[in-house]
Structures are given as C-alpha cells and as structure tokens.
Amino acid sequence: MPEANKYFAHLPFRRTLTHLLEMKSIWVNFSVTMGTDVGQTTMFNEIAIAPIAFRIGRWTVLATVIHELAHSNGAAWGPDSKEAETATLACGLGRKSEQWLGDDPYTPYSPDLGG
C-alpha cells in the first residue's frame, strides 16, 4: 500500500514497509511467555507475537506485526507514543475517524494503545 510505505519512510530509520518485509534480518516468532502484551520487539530485529493475539484473530496478529515492524523502524516506545499504532492505520487496519471519535471494536487499530 503506497500510504503504508509513505508512513514507514517517515519513521526514524526511514525504511519503507516493503523494505522491512524484504529484510532477512527481522525475525518474527511466537512467544508463550509474554504475559498480557500482544507483541514485543527487541533489539529492532526480533518480533514476538503472543498467544492472545492469535486468540483474538488473524487481523490482530497482522496489526501486531505491523505495529512491531514500526518499532523495528524506530517508532518510539512508551505509553505516550502513538507512532507504532498509527502504522496500522496507514496499512488500512482501522478507520482514521477512530483517532478523534474513539475505538471501533470491529477494527484491530486501538487509538489508546501506546508503544
């Protein structure tokens, strides 16, 4: 999606989503020990997806991978950062109106989720 590549190119490491998906150094794995988080990125190249994401459904898994790829591209961490979660909007996994109207439970984007 052109909008996704454009959004990712403006994150600190300036790589497009297409480039990140082609990188062989990023490892996505399943983690049974993550607790309540749905995903986690460590050292910018290891992404872990928790069982809860799979229980919620495939769109949540996809949104989690996108969110974590944004962190791999330098999106800030922390409860006040929305950069990584906004990447899911750029990928068409939510409605832009959710940013000001609140969460739509039928999309995997979560406007209240920090990074």
For residue 110, being part of any structural domain is answered with no
pLDDT of residue 40: 87
State the Cα–Cα distance between residues 52 and 96, nearest whole angstrom.
25
For residue 95, being part of any structural domain is answered with yes
Token pair recorded at residue 82 = 């929305």
For residue 24, being part of any structural domain is answered with yes
State the Cα–Cα distance between residues 23 and 113, nearest whole angstrom.
26
At 43-80, the pLDDT tens digits run: 778 999 999 999 999 999 999 999 999 999 999 988 77
For the domain that residue 69 is a member of, what is the CATH number?
A: 3.30.2010
Token pair recorded at residue 18 = 């297409």
Cut 0.85: pTM above it: yes
